[in-house]
Chains A and B, each alone.
Chain A
Amino acid sequence: MELIPCHFYEDGQRKDGTLQLDENHLVFQVGRSREKTKLAYQMIKLAQQDDQQRLISQIDIITKSFKKFTLDVSPAPLGTILTRVNSRSKAPSLRELPAFKTKEPVTVEEWDEFTLETEYAMMKLPNNEWKITDLNKNFGLCSTYPKVLAVPTTATDFIIQGSAKFRSRQRLPILTYLHGSNGGSIVRCAQPMAGANNRSEMDEKLLELCVDTSRSRSNGLIVDTRPMINAMANRAQGKGYENVEHYQKCSFEFHGIENIHVMRKSLESLEQKGWLSSDWLKHIYAVLDVSNTVKKVVQEGRTVFVHCSDGWDRTSQVCAGAALMLCPRYRTFSGFLSLIHKDWISFGHKCADRLNLSRENSDGEASPIFLQFLEFVYQLMQQFPQSFEFTSSFLIEIYEKAISCSFGDFCGNSIKQREELGVFKLTKCLLTHLSKNREQFRNHLYEEYPGVLEPEVDMCFIKFWSEMYHAVRGNLVNDAIERLVHENDSLRETVKMLEEAVNGGPSTKDPEPEKNGVKNIENVPPPIKKSTSGLLGPL
């Protein structure tokens, strides 16, 4: 399509240039420069003509990651642009998402970088207490679970199958986190089909066997992340919660995380009314609070069971949340990506439905559950600025990449569905891509800290994430740090070259690189900066 002359407003700043509509993006080019702003159609939540106050040639765009742009294309093929944008902002089906149209080669290796097997191996599984079963290799046991599952070594196939029958959508209790030294563990599942009076000896047995893996000899805890009233309502439909009388060695607690519909409405109210007038931060607090409870139980070396209704939303938030506080590895780049792979992608968080990726997915299933998890991570980062290898911009990048769907990881509700869609053969892997392009998100304050994070669980410490919601754009301080780190790297490089030129070898006077957490910078910028080259003369 041709180039359309256009004004482009971002952050209230006007830029003049041209607009181009390519297959997957709106491309805005400033003047004749190479500065391009690319916006994937899939990222656009709303594009509409502004018919109030301003000129009719303006289009206001709001993205799914809360950015706002204004385009002024006068005189304009306005209708064409709007039709194009709106017809492509949501693919007709998952199979038609941009990820499946990639022109780059897809390799087996990229999909092998993050696997559940590797993650289990990191937890030193299998061991004396836990084994890995392939009962689900054809998704026959549970269609929304991964192929490999970690269960107690003492659990027979009969028990496992029996338990699956008693759990909503066959999502039986599966180990998701094992504490390295005290044997404490997090086991995740869906609600039991308990109804008013049903029980399953197999299920009861499986929980008992899980509790027995712990060395603490104390009871396990079943954390139902839902408010009691939600669980009661489910009981009326034959589902519900565990009757602790039948679950020996377990105690039981309800918690206060609301369901997907409440969360969806809460995000709307956040966007409309701002953080102070919406209850959004209360929900973030709830995730922190429950994750913290789970964390504490694991610290005591006990087994904790986490479920909600289907065990793929709140359960994913809390299991991943607790693990992040417990294990320093999850606070590194690769650990964090692996955690997302484990508790979100593998264990069947319904990514496609919740992120509402295509017209196959219904609006009523959409909910910002994954966003809340990222925001929970942001809260931890605020309290522990040195404990994460990456900055909060990395979280925003993950979110934007997940919803723009140029990669396949989030395209689908379960591993099974992804296999059917051909994700692993036809699309590029996002987690691997993020892992390779990590440097710009490095947190220069990071200091490896082996301990458990003990956050303040108090509403007043829950902070509005202004960078995500674009109340305040960008992070000038992080940018300045980033700039200086790179400048110093290149200066160091230059000094080294000069030392060699002057002394004919490296000098002892070389200023020691300071401990600012800069290691392994892969893309070292060109060694000589323009501004300083005048000092050098010909080498």
Chain B
Amino acid sequence: MEFIDLIRTPNIDGVRLLDKNGQVDCQGKIAITGHQLLFVAREKELIMDHKMVDAVEKDTDKGRNLVKMRQKNGKMVRFLLNSQGEADDLCTSVQLCGMIKFTDTHPFYFNPPRSYEQLTKPNVLGTQAWFATLRNKRWRLFEKNQNFEVCPTYPKFVVVPAAVKDDLIVKSAKFRDGARFPILSALIAVGEQKQKIHNPLLRCSSIGFMEARNKQDEEILRLISNGQKSVLIDIRSKSMITELKNKRKGIETDSYYPLYKKEYPDLMNRYSVHNSFCKAWEAMSSKSDDFLDKLRKSGWLAAVDTTLWVASLTAQAVRQAPVIVHGGDGIDMTLVVTSLTQIILLPEARTLVGLLSIIQREWIEAGHPFFERHQRSAWTQKNAITGQEGSTFFLFLHAIQHLLLTHPLHFEFNSSFLLRLHDIAVSSEFGNFIGDNEKERARAGVANKTYSVWPVLASEESFKNPLFGETQMKPAWPLGPSDLWRQYWCRFQRASSTQKDDIFDLQMASLKKLKTENEALKLRMTELAQLQRAAR
């Protein structure tokens, strides 16, 4: 890749950076590299990933040469340039550099500082490693997807019922959309010690339109339920379900899957979630009078609430019976539901490394197309929209944020951690979130050519929640309606430059201090008690 073809001008001098109110903040120069834009002034320095830029707009009103750049996190950056040519060059360069293939992106060129090597590698579990921890004879690794031939969007290894033969899977896979046959998401332990059983939570895609029924698929589902009454949660919209039922296509017919009770919780799909996301951003820039109305009408908070409700419904179901979740192609809302269900139910999923494992297994390896979904965001011009945009991963994080607020003792991480995860998923010099699935990553050699951000995240003390008690085994059921996640939505909304601290962060800092003191005091007390005993 020759970036020289994309960068019209590598350096621009005499650039003025404008502040929120359109006043000149400072003057400096811009340098454009293949992946970043650097603005350097005497007082400040600004680095912007091209991939972080969602919309670039030139404003020549009143003879000015203003370039406005909207980042995917909502931040607006405005530069005033000296000539129209410079403005054009800047816009074109940033736009072109933002459109490069994922194999040319920053992670492939990035070398971390030496300190990176000293970081401890956290034990983030991919599917294979996770499977090893299950120790359950009813499940096995399916190894026939080494070349991504059975399912192009699944990883090399997935977990399936031990009773299901490879042959059955290979023959039936295509029956489901994108050949995403049912695989294990989690095992949920229920009951007391002696009578403990493990109910499986599985996910797949919905039935495709090629065939009306498939005996092998029916057999697989029968083997999954293992003779028990099971639940199938089809999260597609109510209107879709009705239509499919009438057509008797693309949906599990009751008589073919007799062991399954069907639930249709009517969750919104990726398109409407993203639409809500974009409208919520519109609300953020509206006048105070319209704000609440617009926020409500955007449907974003309702989407968070409904998603949490569907996840808790799934969690309740899987505490009683085997559960399969699907909805459409199974790479967006299905993943939100299965991963949130685990966060609600499993204490290990609420640790910092546990959440990274969920993301690794249930998002990255599960084939959520991070590249496509985050290529464009809420400010992109209509003609640049590809239809592949999505904000489902952010929806997932926002839902966790709500659980975190209502169950502060249940989570090892804090909301800053979630915010960072979002930023990294959108644009980062690390390789974890690039590409759309494991097949693409394998072809591009992501594992060898890029660095993982997990060690950085896991070693960051400021992401830890001092309130976390490892004994919080109880599920974190969603409580109350969700609120606007201001750390995210209002990040660049402040009028005054004075940084105000988040109340939650401050409380956490104070708790950390108190805990350290508490430990020191306890230690001292033990010492003294020993001294006293020795003296007697």
Contacts and interface: CB of A to CB of B under 8 A. Distances in A.
A150 to B, nearest CB: 33
A259 interface: no
Given A458-B495, A471-B481, A511-B520, A276 B288 contact: no
B26 to A, nearest CB: 22
A459 B480 contact: no
A456 interface: yes
B291 A454 contact: no
B533 interface: yes
Nearest to B406: A472
Interface string B495-511: 11010111110111011
Interface in A277-331: 277, 279, 281-282, 285, 289
Interface string A459-501: 1110110100001100011101100110110011011001101
B532 A502 contact: yes
A456 B500 contact: yes
Most buried by B among A276, A461, A499: A276
Interface in B503-531: 503-504, 506-508, 510-511, 513-515, 517-518, 520-522, 524-526, 528-529, 531
Interface in A382-403: 382-386
Contact of A276 (B409, B481, B536): B481
A532 B528 CA distance: 13
Interface in A24-75: none
B494 interface: yes
Contact of B496 (A454, A481, A501, A502): A454
B301 interface: yes
B467 interface: yes
Nearest to B479: A472
Contacts of A509: 524
A517 to B, nearest CB: 8
B64 interface: no
Interface string A502-514: 1000000101011
B277 to A, nearest CB: 15
A407 to B, nearest CB: 30
A381 interface: yes
A488 B483 contact: no
A374 B6 CA distance: 57
B524 A476 contact: no
**Chain B, interface size: which category?**
35 or more
A488 B504 contact: no
B76 to A, nearest CB: 15
A495 B524 contact: yes
A381 B503 contact: yes
A498 B291 CA distance: 59
B116 interface: no
A537 B514 contact: no
B501 A386 contact: yes
A126 interface: no
Given A445-B510, A478-B507, A537-B532, A514 B517 contact: yes
A488 B496 contact: no
Contacts of A463: 483-484, 486
Contact of B288 (A381, A459, A488): A459
B96 interface: no
A501 B525 CA distance: 12
Interface string B172-212: 00000000000000000000000000000000000000000
A464 B483 contact: yes
A487 B518 contact: yes
Contact of B292 (A281, A381, A494): A281
**Chain A, interface size: which category?**
35 or more
Interface string A213-247: 00000000000000000000000000000000000
B489 interface: yes
Given A477-B467, A509-B524, A537 B500 contact: no
Given A495-B528, A532-B525, A516 B513 contact: yes
A1 interface: no
Contact of B521 (A274, A460, A488): A488
B388 interface: no
A535 interface: yes
B1 interface: no
B97 to A, nearest CB: 32
A536 interface: yes
A276 B500 contact: no
A252 to B, nearest CB: 22
A466 B284 CA distance: 21
Given A472-B406, A477-B408, A282 B493 contact: no
B4 interface: no
Nearest to A276: B296
B289 interface: yes
Contacts of A385: 501-503, 506-507
B291 A460 contact: yes
A537 B515 CA distance: 25
Given A460-B493, A502-B532, A511-B517, A532 B291 contact: no
Contacts of B481: 274-276, 471
A46 B284 CA distance: 38
B535 interface: yes
| Nearest 4 interchain pairs by C-beta | A459-B288, A459-B291, A385-B503, A498-B528
27 contacts: A277-B296, A282-B289, A282-B292, A285-B288, A381-B503, A385-B501, A456-B496, A456-B500, A457-B495, A458-B288, A458-B490, A459-B292, A460-B486, A460-B489, A460-B490, A471-B480, A471-B481, A472-B480, A477-B508, A481-B511, A491-B521, A498-B528, A514-B514, A514-B517, A516-B510, A535-B526, A537-B533
Given A472-B406, A480-B511, 20 more contacts: A274-B481, A282-B288, A289-B288, A383-B500, A384-B500, A445-B507, A456-B493, A458-B494, A460-B484, A463-B486, A477-B504, A477-B507, A477-B511, A480-B408, A480-B409, A480-B467, A487-B518, A492-B521, A501-B532, A535-B525
